[in-house]
Amino acid sequence: MSNTELIRHDWTVDQIVELFNLPFSELIYRAATVHRQFFEPDQVQVSTLLSIKTGACPEDCKYCPQSAHYKTGLEVERLLELQTVVDKAKQAKAAGATRFCMGAAWRQPRDKDLDRVIDMVTEVRKLGMETCVTLGMLEAQQAQRLKEAGLDYYNHNIDTSEEYYSEVISTRKFDDRLQTLENVRQAGLNVCCGGIVGMGESVDDRASMLKTLANLPTHPQSVPINQLVRVAGTPYEDEKEVEALDMVRTIAVARIVLPKSMVRLSAGRSEMSDETQALCFLAGANSVFYGERLLTTDNPDEHHDQQLFKKLGVKPMPAHSGAA
């Protein structure tokens, strides 16, 4: 099958569930084969994520320690100063990151806050790093301003399936997410959009989430697959732990239905064994977040990741590299 034929926008939930139900070895083989058609199999993009405004978010996402609805002991921080962000970006670059992501716990940014974020984007780009921000919902003109500032990617996850969405969040609707993605796409920005595994959803829900992403007019250029981090004080603190092979299967199916996307092994890596991460890379994950913190949750430190890459013969992907 040609590369062009692999890019589909007509997936059904049943077809994707069939992929989830394949024998494990067959699924990994298919995913690894697709991966090699579009990417170098021994390269992983290294990204760093910084929380530039922490806590007091008015949304009630049940997984999120930054929600003002839950008492998680998180220390609320105002929007960071520009120089602080630039210094963090320099540290990330020195540690090997080629992509710098900035996250702010807002429902939607005010224009005066967006002015400050744009300054951050401008300065980080001067360092030669890819830039990504996640600021909540965006209006069309806000997305356009970020594009004009040179932003590379905008992250706005759909989190789960449309059918399960109301079980996770009540303060916004699934269509609100899709509208922000449309605004970002229309502005010409790269879309970073994925979801979370382990919130009590079914395999059908995981399939439906991936169907939504695969059937967008353009596949998201970046797809973070997060494993739920169970944070004390959130409604999901006692949620059942995700089985390692379920996470690997989700990565593999994402690679098959989104063949040209960067599939990002995101939150939850600190709870994964090296062997699980190795299987995720084999299944088509080709990006990780690097550094001790992932917004407000723990992440493996750079030294551990460097050792893991060495064991696996994995090399960091060069800056501004992507699908073949």
**The predicted structure's pLDDT at residue 321:** 43
β-strands 287-289, 43-53: how paired? parallel
- Among 87-101, 123-137, 220-234, 302-316, the minimum mean pLDDT is found in 302-316
31, 256 in Cβ contact below 8 A? yes
Exactly one of 30, 64, 172, 230 is catalytic; which is it?
64
In this structure, what DSSP letter does residue 266 have? -
Confidence (pLDDT) at 59: 82
Is 132 considered catalytic here? yes
Q: How far, in Å, CA of 170 to CA of 123, rounded? A: 36
Cβ pair 263, 286 in contact under 8 A: yes
Q: Is the pLDDT of residue 246 over 70?
A: yes
User: What is the model's pLDDT at position 309?
Assistant: 82
Helices (H), the chain: 3-6, 13-20, 24-38, 82-94, 111-125, 140-148, 165-168, 174-186, 203-214, 244-257, 274-282, 302-312
Confidence tier at 158 by pLDDT (50, 70, 90):
very high
Q: pLDDT tens digits, residue range 28-67?
A: 999 999 999 999 888 888 888 888 888 778 888 888 888 8
Q: What interhelical angle do 13-20 and 203-214 show, nearest 10?
A: 120
Confidence of residue 140 (pLDDT cuts 50, 70, 90): very high
Q: Quote the CA–CA distance of 33 and 43 in Å, as a whole number.
A: 15
Contact between 150 and 219 under an 8 Å Cβ cutoff? The reply is no
For the stretch 60-90, pLDDT in tens is 888 888 887 787 777 778 889 999 999 999 9
CB 280 within 8 A of CB 252: no
For residues 195 and 235, is the Cβ–Cβ distance under 8 A?
no
Give the pLDDT mean for 195-206. Answer: 95
β-pairing, 195-197 vs 222-227, is parallel
Catalytic residue among 193, 264, 269, 280: 264
**Residue 101 catalytic?**
yes
Rounded to an integer, what distance in angstroms lies between the CA atom of residue 276 and that of residue 248?
Answer: 7
- The two most distant CA atoms of the chain are separated, in Å, by 52
Between the alpha carbon of residue 112 and those of residues 105, 142, 216, the distances in Å are 15, 11, 31
d(CA 291, CA 299): 6
280 is catalytic: no
Ramachandran sector of residue 19 (left: φ over 0; alpha: ψ -120 to 50; beta: rest):
alpha
CB-based contact 239:198 (threshold 8 Å): yes
Residue with the bigger pLDDT between 221 and 288: it is 221
The whole-chain average pLDDT of the chain stands at 87
Does residue 1 or residue 215 have the better pLDDT?
215
The proportion of the chain whose per-residue pLDDT surpasses 90, expressed as a percent, equals 52
289 beta partners: 47
pLDDT for res 271 = 81
Choose the catalytic residue: 30, 99, 132, 255.
132
Q: What percent of the chain has pLDDT over 70?
A: 92
Mean pLDDT value of segment 135-159:
93
The one catalytic residue in 30, 101, 145, 255 is 101
Q: Which of 145, 192, 193, 249 is catalytic?
A: 192
Query: How far are the Cα atoms of 56, 65, 139, 281 from residue 296, in angstroms, in the given order?
Result: 13, 8, 26, 24
Span 289-293, mean pLDDT? Answer: 59
Is 3 a residue whose pLDDT tops 80?
no
| 81-124 tens-digit pLDDT | 999 999 999 988 887 788 888 988 888 888 889 999 999 999 99
pLDDT at 293: 45
Dihedrals phi, psi of 298, to nearest 5 degrees: -70, 150
